Structure 1
Amino acid sequence: MSAAGKIVLENADLRMELRRLGATLARLDLRLADGSWRNVVLGSASEADYLGPNIYLGMTVGRFANRIGGARFVLDGTAHEVDANEGPNQLHGGTQGFHSRVWEIAGQGSDWVEFSLCSPDGDQGFPGELEVSARYELFPGGAKVAYRATTSAPTVVNLTNHAYFNLDGEASGNTDDHYLQVRASRYTPNHDDGIPTGEIRDVTGSAMDFRGWRHLGSARVAAEAEAVTRRGGFDHNFVVDGSGMREHCRLMGSRGLTLTVISDQPGLQVYCGDHFDGTQVGTSGTGYVRRAGVALETQAFPDAPNQPHFPSTVLRPGQTYRATTCWVLGESSPVVEEARPRRRG
């Protein structure tokens, strides 16, 4: 580990660079069939750049990932006001959320590292002292992150890694020519500020139906026509079918790489990076253009503390919060290529 807090893990297939700041996935390089390496996640050029407003590139976000409407919630009859950092709402745990903290290293091996963090009672307005760990690990063909947390008092918890993927390469431009498939029959529509309306809606016949392969550029145009977008793109929570560890989605780049995301979480937030404007300088020194990467955030539903019919995010003393996500990477197989849609013209 360098003074800058970098940790590098490597096996025959993958090389992963992590940072203590934000328990961050800064690079994920896949070894291609020709022996070359390709980085498929976005990252900042320097550690200082990670501390800019609303960056979150590959960072661990919490204590509550995604949004809490009105930056408040009621738990066991007590109202809690939390830090509002997106208008009147809270996003990703507040201004000084977990992404902004330097995590400790609790343990490390040749293909894994575990970070730890103590979040005090009242941190960003959340009740209870929270002890958190994030364990990253490589395995043949993939990587995973496993989060755990315990609390001293009843609280709400929702943790995720906020990696943006570009399977054509970290500095290759936008992801409009990627294809996405999401294992979700329903999603949660948003108000204009990104807070869910509370409805859980069937995707059938809508622009939100990703159960078959969808070309992201074409899907965005359809979503704009149906007026279901924010900032002209996707930023929505999908209700993933099934339970337990299961496939959430597949992403396919235009140059032959595939990513399969497997998790035990109930939701998947798909955000296509419409805020990038060329000013955020990436790992390679290139400015990130609009839609430079796709965030596939496995997590609980946004605003769950205020939506009693959403899966609960309450954690109580004596319980252990767990959330695990696997990223499986590879070059397209004949089966995947056969399923790949053919564009006309």
Structure 2
Amino acid sequence: MKREVVLAGIIALVVSSCNTKPASELTQSGLDPKNFQTEIKKEPVALYTLKNENGMEVCITNFGGRIVSIMVPDMHGEMKDVVLGFDNINSYQNVPSDFGAAIGRYANRIKDAKMTIDSKDIQLLPNNFGHCLHGGPEGWQYKVYTAKPISDTQIAMIMQSPDNDMNFPGNVTATVTYTLTEDNAIDIQYEATTDQTTVINMTNHSYFNLSGDATKEITSDILYINADSYTPVDATYMTTGEILPVADTPMDFSKLKMIGEDIDKFDFEQLKNGNGYDHNWVLNTAGDITKLAARVTSPASGISVEVYTDEPGIQVYTGNFLDGTAKGKKGIMYKKRTGICLETQHYPDSPNKPQWPSVLLKPGETYKSHCIYKFTAEKP
């Protein structure tokens, strides 16, 4: 098995040389691939570049399957990097963050880090107010995926997660396939299989700043969410099990609204509990990938990102806990609310809420999830 893993890594690096920029050449976003070339626990890590015929560029590292940069044109045709991240692998290793990561095994929170599968009680590893968040303290965002470049516009990231990984049962093989399309979309397809019944809920955790200037807050951006209800949380960010209407509350983005319009109205308990927006919305799309789930637009750049998904929910997080201590690309210290996350998902704590769509994956089944981030720019 070890020999197969080593060979897979060698093959991945050889193939990737045809699809990534040489180590001596900076990416369009200004990244130096040499700053990502290393080994972590004897597994090779690198930076991979996808580029389409329109000149859009997406840089991804196989450490955590992370999107590091996204270069798209603004309203004037100027290319802007619209996600937060680091310019070197050391920061990704040493500064705790979920920037751009392919999250697994379970995106979002599992209450009290406990669940029951087939009448067996399972104690997971807590890492957030006693809950298990994003797969636990060493979720997949802190592990090395095996990179499989497919073409100049497509790459697969493969995770071999052993039985009892962060106390989750089952040997799981998961694949995240990133495709950069010719209409300036990042198409992300997730698949996973297991040899024991387990839970899977994967997502992407990119922090978008569509102005292209990560010193600016995203509170002036315009947000739309195709949802009439959401799942409220308690003071530990854990879903209560309720599904409540957004109508006549600050949670209503069913019509275009500036993100910052209501964000600090902490007399509304949910905003106080979330320190802003950090909630799951129940989408109206009924799993139809062709229907718009959410959209964010930066008036400053004219850049929009549209989200399409076959998932039932989307977690919208407005960077409320960025505190200016993380030094990102271009030396920028990422401050509060300088990024927005749009995490397509099953609802938080679904393993403990049987009334919600199931996240169980059984042997012989294949978990599948699909998300598209499509970028456009309004003309001035």
Q: Shorter-chain TM-score: which interval? A: over 0.9
Q: Deviations over 1:211-264 (max 9, x none)?
A: 001111112034x23121235211000000132213210001122111101111
Q: Does 1:273 align with 2:341?
A: no
Point out the more displaced range, 42-51 or 310-319: 42-51
Letter in 1 for 2:252: D
Other-structure match for 1:10: 51
State the SS of the aligned residue for 1:250: strand
C-alpha distance in 1, partners of 2:276/2:334? Answer: 16
Deviation for aligned residue 1:174: 0.9
C-alpha distance in 1, partners of 2:114/2:274? Answer: 25
Other-structure match for 1:195: 238
Q: Does 1:284 align with 2:330?
A: yes
Other-structure match for 2:157: 115
Other-structure match for 2:285: 242
State the SS of the aligned residue for 2:330: coil
Other-structure match for 2:206: 163
Deviation for aligned residue 1:13: 4.4
Deviation for aligned residue 1:32: 3.6
C-alpha distance in 2, partners of 1:53/1:131? Answer: 27
Q: TM-score, normalised to structure 2's length? A: 0.85
Other-structure match for 2:371: 325
**Is the 1:171–1:284 contact (alpha carbons within 8 Å) kept by the matching residues of 2?**
no
Deviation for aligned residue 1:61: 1.1
Letter in 1 for 2:346: A
C-alpha distance in 2, partners of 1:209/1:52? Answer: 37
Letter in 1 for 2:112: G
Q: TM-score, normalised to structure 1's length? A: 0.93
Deviation for aligned residue 1:62: 1.0
Letter in 1 for 2:51: E
C-alpha distance in 1, partners of 2:329/2:335? Answer: 14
1:56-135 equivalence runs, <5 A: 56-135=98-177
Deviation for aligned residue 1:49: 1.5
Letter in 1 for 2:264: V
Q: Does 1:215 align with 2:227?
A: no
Other-structure match for 1:295: 341
C-alpha distance in 2, partners of 1:27/1:86? Answer: 27
Deviation for aligned residue 1:203: 1.0
RMSD over aligned CA atoms reads: 1.5
C-alpha distance in 2, partners of 1:33/1:310? Answer: 41
Other-structure match for 1:310: 356
Deviation for aligned residue 1:200: 0.7
> Could you say if the C-alpha distance between residues 87 and 169 of structure 1 is closer, same or farther in structure 2, counting changes exceeding 3 Å?
same
Structure 2 residues not aligned, in runs of 5+: 1-19, 21-32, 39-45
Percent identity reads: 32
Deviation for aligned residue 1:189: 0.5
**Is the 2:233–2:240 contact (alpha carbons within 8 Å) kept by the matching residues of 1?**
yes
Structure 1 residues not aligned, in runs of 5+: 335-345
Letter in 1 for 2:296: L
Other-structure match for 2:218: 175
Q: Deviations over 1:64-117 (max 9, x none)?
A: 000000101011101111111113111000111000111112342111000101
Q: Please, which of 68, 72, 82 is the counterpart of residue 26 of structure 1?
A: 68
Other-structure match for 2:7: none
Deviation for aligned residue 1:52: 4.0
Other-structure match for 1:338: none
C-alpha distance in 1, partners of 2:217/2:378? Answer: 20
> Could you say if the C-alpha distance between residues 53 and 194 of structure 1 is closer, same or farther in structure 2, counting changes exceeding 3 Å?
farther
C-alpha distance in 2, partners of 1:197/1:54? Answer: 27
Query: How many residue pairs are counted as aligned between the two chains?
Result: 333
